[in-house]
Amino acid sequence: MNSFVPQPASGAPAKAPVPRRRRKDARPSELTAAALALFVDKGFAATRLDDVAARAGVSKGTLYLYFSSKEALFKAVIEDGMVAALAAAEERLAGFHGSAAELLHELLLGWWRQIGRTAMAGVTKLIISESRNFPEVAQYYHERVITRGRALLRHALERGIGSGEFRPLNVEAAIDVIIAPLLMLAISRFSLRLCGPQVAPETYLETHFELLLQGLRGADPIDDRQPTATTACR
CA distance linking residue 43 with residue 122, whole number of Å: 10
Question: What's the angle, vertex CA 150, arms to CA 69 and CA 30, rounded to 5?
Answer: 35
Number of separate helices (H) and strands (E) present in the chain: 11, 0
Domain annotation for the chain: domains and CATH numbers: 70-192+199-217 (1.10.357.10)
Q: Which strand (E) or helix (H) includes residue 42? A: helix 28-42
Distances (CA, A) of 183 to 2, 59, 63, 108, 134: 69, 36, 31, 12, 20
Q: Which residue stretches of the chain have pLDDT < 50?
A: 1-10, 17-22, 221-234
DSSP reduced 3-state for 226? coil
pLDDT of residue 125: 87
pLDDT of residue 15: 53
Residue 83 CB contacts under 8 Å (≥ 6 apart), including other chains: 144, 145, 148
CA distance linking residue 29 with residue 148, whole number of Å: 23
